[in-house]
A and B are shown apart, each in its own frame.
Chain A
Amino acid sequence: MYEKKHFATIGILLIVILLIFCSGCISSTQTNSEAILKIATPSEITEASYFGNYNFAQMTRVTTPPLIQVDENGDNIGDLAKSWTVSSDGKIWTFTLDPDYQWSDGTSLSAEDVKFSLEYTGEKIATSPAWIKNATISTSGNTVTISLAEPVYRLCGDLVAINIVPKHIWQSIDTPEEYISNGPYVGSAAYYVKSIDTDSATLILAVNPEWKGDAPYYGTIEIHWFATEDAAISAMLGGECDTYWKYGTAFPTTSVALLETSDKFTAVQTPSLKMSYVGFNTITSDVGSDLAFRKAIAYALNYDELVEISAAGYGLSANSGFIPSGVPYYKETTANTYKLETAKSMLDAAGYKDVNGDGIREDTNGDALTVTLLTRDKVAGELIKEYLEKAGLKVEYKFASDINAWIELKEAHTYDIAYNGITAKGMMMDSGWATGYFASNAVGAGKLQNVDDPVFLELCAKISVTPDGDELKSLISELQDYYAEQVPGIALYWCTDVTPINTEIDGWYISKATGIYNEINLLSIHPAD
């Protein structure tokens, strides 16, 4: 009896060991040193400057990762930090580091590297977040604690963009933005930067020999940049590259039809944080500051047609609460609908009537109601112009052909209505939830700064210092009500991201913030069976 029990125990143990061994074999991929993944991108690296070139910094985010990253749903998840906690008042943030990350030159990655990176960025980079300078950063074992003077709701959003770099390398470099090197750059993730060559327009990532996590399949990742989107797409479709990526934007919707001509690629659609909108000049424009006018215009725009033509069908009609459904604390509000007759009667009721019967409404002084429309997009601009004219307005059309013309015109507030776009990153800048695009006290090239209503500015101020939780949720709900009731802008459509997927490769993981160029994806992709 005793022997039978003994054998049974040994048998079970053997089966368990076998199962563990097999599962280990299944889950851990072997790196194929010969395998190369080639990524085409129009995000050009003009200088091999890690801190000085914006695109290079984005591309090295997978080699010297930040503490936090954004997942496929748009939520913040751990990257270099395995986990983190935050005090109830939102001032003390403690991050525990993931031991899988080790520097590729054999040096151990420590909490001191994180402390150094945050302080180094705060001190050396002019546009670094202001809270770093006022924070106290301390380390203990493999944890880093950031003590803030005031709670900063967007701390995670800021940390996503701060690469953790090796202290032993960078501490001797006094002007990091001027430092140029063709590599290698010591990295801590599965890959490190082996070399960069701006003359051949190629960045090469090699497997980090010190990496302790799951092994990636591809031994080398090559990023090839091109001067134009068209050239990058041609390179992908022509078989020169395996996939396409561009920081901050998805695949151009106007080129999606090209994917259908290829057997190798398929288009995957995911809801985006990006959107298009029109903003009203509520500060210096007579009609823009008239709430009744703004509400009437919300019915004059043909949202479905805008999605079909301006977004080439890759978008969703938006709600009056403005922010897209994928953004945290989104709540359902009334859908924006096109009702031209309602818009006309609302304009009549607001005092903008066509008295002389010439088809153009008159303003309260009896002059033809002329609105100045500023746009950065010709297609959307022409459509909006047409909608406004159908509602009986005379439209003066201003097209900003480039960013410089746009800055000049929007800073001078020389418009009544302006068409603009919101990026995924921009959605959460300043006080977040698209407030940065409206608040008159925000600064930046992409922002309209068209609302100086004290109620709105106070709401923004409260949001920016409220830690994550019920109170923040309530404030964001209040903000969406403000968007719906005060109509400082009208969401035209919420974008849908299109990602070209190479069907010869499996395991694609698309981050809401960085698309296919993320650590999880680089570890999971492998040739299809």
Chain B
Amino acid sequence: MNKAVSRKITRYSICLLIVVLLVFFLPRCMPGDPVQCLVGEDVYVTQEILDALTVKLGLDQPLYEQFEIYLQDLITGDLGYSYTRHQNVADLIWSRVPWTLLLTGVSMLIGYAFGLLAGTWTGWMSETKRSKVLTAFGVVVSCIPPYLLGLIFFSVFVYQLGWFPYKGFYETPDIFSIAYHMALPILTLALFVFARNMIIMRGSVLTEKDQLYPQFAKSLGIPQNKIIYGHIMKNAILPIVTHFAIDFGFILSGALFIEIIFSLNGLGRVMYTAILNLDYPVLSGLFLVIAIMVICANLIADVLYGIIDPRVKRGEEQ
């Protein structure tokens, strides 16, 4: 057990180290000059002002020295200072994280819950007409990227029908207003998550239902719903758990487009403007936080695997 845990810790530590290296160097490989981005296009500035700004931002130092400073700051929990937004990166990220987690978290919760149930049902009842229609619907929706789904929903439900608001997390900061404003963005993302998970779950259930144990359970007189949701679903869920870990990063990037379409000031928008403005500290900080979230999701998936399928745990112990 200890050996398995230490192996996991080593694996995730190496992963984190590579992530730290990547999040520092990748944004700096992008073309352009962050100082020029900072001052804008049609402004009157002298070379002296640009030079002074470069020094102020620490961009005059060699890259390895900048990395050294970055690591020192990171150890103390300092993610740096955004020179386009004039605030600490950590403060900036933490102020936006709750909103993005609300969007992605609720979407994933709804999408996974309904995706699992619907996937199990369509897998078990695969020969029925209703199952085929639902499967076809799932295939179509999962083929549409979230941004296109968002644009279609925006055009129909916001612009044409006027059922949902155009922008923002709320009009007045109360629960009803937030729910009203977040409903369509959450629905968009949740529908996408739902469709993907339903298809995966369906395939997994199709494999499981041909095993001997469901037939044995049936012969014992166990009710069908208990066989489906108590035995088959539990065994068929493993690919979904794996998918959850991989999906987490994808959902966050999907949230970026949803935030742009529905004018939501979340993490995705912060990332978008940071890319446009070459705001290195914000990009590094965001990538790091997102990478840590994905690593945590993988860790959770690892733990869940052991709980759901004890054979995995036994294999690790051996």
Contact = CB atoms under 8 A, between A and B. Distances in A.
A429 interface: yes
A199 B99 contact: yes
B265 interface: yes
A411 interface: yes
Interface string A218-241: 000000111110010011001010
B168 A199 contact: yes
Interface in B36-89: 36-37, 39-47, 49-50, 52-53, 56, 85-87
B265 A201 contact: yes
A136 interface: no
Contacts of A158: 44
A199 B265 contact: yes
Interface stretch (A123-131, A309-317, A497-505): A123-131
A445 B35 CA distance: 9
Interface in A390-449: 402-408, 411, 423, 425-426, 429-430, 436, 441, 443-446
Contact of A235 (B36, B99, B166): B166
B32 interface: yes
Contact of A429 (B36, B42, B87, B173): B42
Contact of A127 (B45, B85, B172, B269): B45
Contacts of A430: 44
A91 interface: no
Interface string A158-198: 10000000000000000001101000000000000000011
Classify chain B: how many residues form its interface, as a range: 35 or more
Given A180-B87, A408-B31, A129 B41 contact: no
Given A231-B261, A235-B166, A408 B32 contact: yes
A407 B37 contact: yes
B176 interface: no
A227 B168 CA distance: 10
Contacts of A113: none
Contact of B41 (A403, A408, A441): A403
A517 to B, nearest CB: 18
A446 B42 contact: yes
Contacts, number: 145
Given A408-B31, A443-B47, A444-B43, A227 B85 contact: no
A46 B263 contact: no
Nearest to A45: B265
Interface in B105-164: 154, 158-159, 162
A319 B10 CA distance: 69
A21 to B, nearest CB: 43
A226 B42 contact: no
Contacts of B30: 404
A200 interface: yes
Interface in A264-317: none
A331 interface: no
A154 interface: yes
B42 A425 contact: yes
A423 B31 contact: no
Interface string A114-154: 00000000000011011000000000000000000000001
Contact of B276 (A198, A403, A436): A403
B33 interface: yes
Contacts of B36: 407, 443-445
Given A47-B86, A234-B166, A443 B46 contact: yes
A514 interface: no
Given A46-B265, A46-B273, A405 B32 contact: yes
Given A227-B260, A231-B166, A403-B276, A429 B43 contact: yes
A445 B260 contact: no
Contact of A227 (B31, B47, B269, B270): B269
A431 B117 CA distance: 68
Contacts of B171: 200, 202
B259 interface: yes
Given A52-B85, A200-B171, A234-B159, A444 B39 contact: yes
A431 B45 CA distance: 11
Residue among A177, A199, A202 with most chain B CB within 10 A: A199
A199 B166 contact: no
B166 A227 contact: no
A315 to B, nearest CB: 19
A404 B45 contact: no
Which has the most chain A C-beta neighbours within 10 Å: B32, B259, B260?
B32
Contacts of A126: 49, 52-53, 56
A60 interface: no
A496 interface: no
A375 interface: no
Contacts of B270: 46
A289 to B, nearest CB: 23
B275 to A, nearest CB: 9
Given A404-B30, A423-B41, A443 B50 contact: yes
A407 B168 contact: no
B24 to A, nearest CB: 18
B45 A226 contact: no
Contact of B37 (A53, A197, A198, A403): A403
Contacts of A94: none
A127 B43 contact: yes
B31 A200 contact: no
Nearest to B278: A404
B167 interface: yes
List the 6 shortest-distance A-B pairs measured between CB atoms, nearest first: A404-B32, A426-B42, A446-B41, A408-B31, A52-B86, A200-B168
29 contacts: A53-B85, A154-B44, A158-B44, A177-B86, A180-B87, A200-B170, A200-B173, A201-B167, A202-B171, A226-B263, A227-B260, A227-B261, A231-B263, A238-B158, A238-B159, A238-B162, A240-B166, A402-B32, A402-B276, A403-B37, A404-B278, A405-B31, A408-B33, A426-B41, A436-B44, A444-B39, A444-B43, A445-B36, A445-B40
